[in-house]
Structure 1
Amino acid sequence: MDLQFIIDKIWSLPKLSYCNFLIPPQREQRYCIPTKLSSTLKYVDIPGYQLKWSQINRFFEHTPRLKRLSLFINFADDDNDNLILFPCPTLIHLDITLFRTSDMSKMIYLLQNTPNLRSLRVCVYYNLINGNQWEQIIRKNVPKLKRFRLQMKNIFFLNENIQQEVDQLVDSFRSSFWIDEHQWFARCFARDKTIHFSTLSDTFCYDERKLPDFWRSTYPHDNQQNLYDNITTIYDETFFDQSIPFDMSFPNIHSLHIKLPIHNQFWSTISNFNRLYSLTVSSHIDTFQSQLQTLLDRAPRLRFLQINQNESLSLQISIFQYTSKSVRVLDLRNCNYSFNEEECMKLCHSPLGIQCKILSINVKNRESINIFVKYMTNLRALHIKCEDEMFNKRSTSEENANDEFCDENIDNSDELIRWLEDHLPSTCLVGRDPHSHSFIRIWF
């Protein structure tokens, strides 16, 4: 994939004002700065790539009308400390993610060159910058700022006093600048050796296995339920195995990971599934089919469903029986099972298969792909691994350990790509998944 060619084509579009760049990077692929100037682009979102400090200058130079920018920048990945930054006076909204940044001088220099910034959102991973520092940064560099959102996270590996660290951090955000002038309130909580900090109105993904050990807030009327109200994602499938206070709930969950059987307290802790968009189910087994079906019935906006089952199990037939009016993306890769042609046909005619638009699955042989193309009439994209492909018969560990081996097999595996191009409609686009080369991606 010629990323530079794609980006230059985007920047050359004569009427384009908004670009959300969602093409996933391949391995360590860097984002390419456009060589073409766009006089129309105003809103740019680059979520999947790290930009180097030295690239920011050329990015601003080739996007002179930029008003809103969202990006991930690595200040430490560049020794160009003497860079003279190209000003961007049109920028009014900046959403920036920083990773392992201890020196804020480049961040300050960036803000000095965006003097008309009105809205700033910053995510800092593996560092905690106190409120006094942030106050000075904002006062001196972005005086027109009206909206400030901040998230920070750090893990402590030594024997630090975590509670003391939290107290000191929160207290640094209690000055009149935060409380009186702007009413930018903050909340901080800790679990084991990890500290999470965020401004009060920010929603966040909860990736801990247990509830917080303790929390602090600068908002006088804050409470623990408000903390739970801001959680939109629960990643750990064992989260609901713990005891949760009966009066606590999570009303705004968008993405959820659970395992079967579902704990009884789950239904009272998350009583509202109206916002649930993505669901990943582990330890799937037919025995608990009714539990999962109940959850599907109560989630009217659920779009993505991933079903994982233990490797020792045979294919569970309940997969062919589940119903949901809203699910359009079905991921069965982690069922640890390869579907044969008969099972593929059965999936095509199942309630979830009939309405499926994006399917990820493992199959025994390539002929199954034609079954999906012919009978899954709403399908728009297929992410598939064929057991009969020579590429998949080599060990995954060997593939991951040796990049040269991987590249060699990509070339040798063209036989399947050619076979698909010969047997699928000419309107189909076929290619390797850059993140998992044993999988084929097909667009219809």
Structure 2
Amino acid sequence: MDFEPQFKSNIETLIKSYGTWFEKNLNVKQKIITLNEIWNLKKATHCNFNHCHGLSIQLTRISIISQTIEYLSIDNSDNVRNLTQLIYYTPKLQRLNWNLKYSSGNEPLLISMPSIISLEFCCCITNDRLKTILQHMPNLCYLKLNLINIYLNGYEWENLFSQSNLGIIYTLPYAFNHIFYLNQYSSKSTCPNEHYYWSYDNVNIFEYINGNNMFINDFINFPIHLNYIRELDIALPINNYFWSIISSWNQLISLNIIINGDDDNIYFQLQQLFDQTPCLYSLKFSNWNDLNMILFQKLKSKSIRRLHFTELRASYRQFFNRNECSALINSILGKQCEVLIVSVNNQTLAIDIAENMIKLRSLIIKCQTNKPSRLNFPSRNNIFVQWK
């Protein structure tokens, strides 16, 4: 590709759509040549690489120092090594928009990046690696982070930025606990009513991670209130703080349960949930092998009409045996069930369920026996079963 002569003399900003053209029309060697031509432009100040898959390899092959590029946007990068290469050959770079997909632990040390004053960073890296990157940007004034699989509480944020020039930090939700002034940093909610600030009225689906998880342990710093939850995924047992999160249970219609352990208190908590959810219709167990069927038989709810039993762990049994089917049929929830999704050992158990759970109107069932049955079904074949 040749930028001479007219285009090169007039260029100040490279077109954003250039990245797509770059990806579709050039082979690897041409891309490397083109990148070096871009870095050799005398008036190019802005450069955007969008949708350039495989760009990481070519970026490490830049060999010309640009004295003009001040803004750079890369939406698809593989590792930190690219940044080190870019900074060395782009010493005037001030503003960087960088989407980092992956970062390995054995990448080289970064060089200092004193020219960068603004960073928009989407990344999936460790906390220590993020801290290292920011420490190499001593003059950073503006920072926007989109962290993937990274959680930092307020004190960790403070430590992360303690050596930077950042003056204002926004986080959602705000993570500090009873801190209004900290060294040279101050904090304030922009909402005139603090109660409304912590109220999330548009959240309809909520997943509450196991209480032993670090996220939940720090979650107590967030006095949030959820008023319109319709679907809830929860791991039992739960801690006491959970009950303060959801302000109203009247909208909950679907509950997905993961059971951790065999403590009887789990079923007490589950019954507590049922007692507070007058509109709960669907109940799902995602690891039914840990379900105590004797205690399950005692659970009761006025509203539950749909039961779903599944086992997400491949190494565990996937099918109900005779005793488990009998417990389901004779349970309080089983007797009022209208929609059932379950896997059973054989077709005989499927017939037992269909004939004895008299309120069923929909049955989705999987049998472990895949061979044609020798039973004499009253229907025309062994796939469809007719019952009174």
TM-score (norm 1): 0.40
TM-score by length of 2: 0.45
Task: Looking at secondary structure, tell me which structure has more strand per residue.
Answer: 1
